[in-house]
Amino acid sequence: MIPATGWAASATEILERVDDLWRGESSFAEMTMEVKTENYERSLKLKAWSLGKDRSLMIISYPPKDRGVATLKVDQDIWNYLPKINRVTKVPSSMMSGSWMGSHFTNDDLIKESSFQDDYTSSITFEGERDGRRIYEITSLPKMDAAVVWGKVVMFIDEATLAPNEAFYYDEEGM
């Protein structure tokens, strides 16, 4: 485990801690996802629970038209619940590369086992105070042989807790 504030950590050590936090025995998170494309912008608020690496549930709470839409992952299978029609559907393998909730994430992104240290080369690109918080800014670029979607990931990590506060995912063109 990485000691608290005052200890100079490497990007790899910090991201190992982030991976451990994300892949803990169980977790709960409330998140906001901002989706920006050439044609539209969209904001989603969701709650997410996980149990180990094999079980997770995400429920959309905003916008109102999507409230209650849920995605359940058990092992390598994904189901979606659509409250407007009160129906659960299993996501077929042919749809695994399809967009999740209009974002750049795919259904496959939700189930694949990956880690930043395996898939990305990362470096600390800023360390200090920003918006009244001490943070590490870590920029991760994919390794040549990594089967990843993102051309770059930038994370802001709280220096005291080593918990991620924000993450920005960019495609290969930096968008």
Q: How big is the CA angle at 76 (ends 79 and 60), to the nearest 5 degrees? A: 35
Task: State yes or no: pLDDT of 128 exceeds 70.
Answer: yes
Angle among Cα 116, 124, 46 to the nearest 5 degrees reads: 50
This model's pTM is above 0.75 = no
pLDDT 10s digits, 131-153: 899 999 999 999 998 877 789 99
pLDDT in tens, 69-84: 999 989 888 899 999 9
Name residue, tokens 């989706």.
35
Helix (H) or strand (E) holding 34: strand 26-36
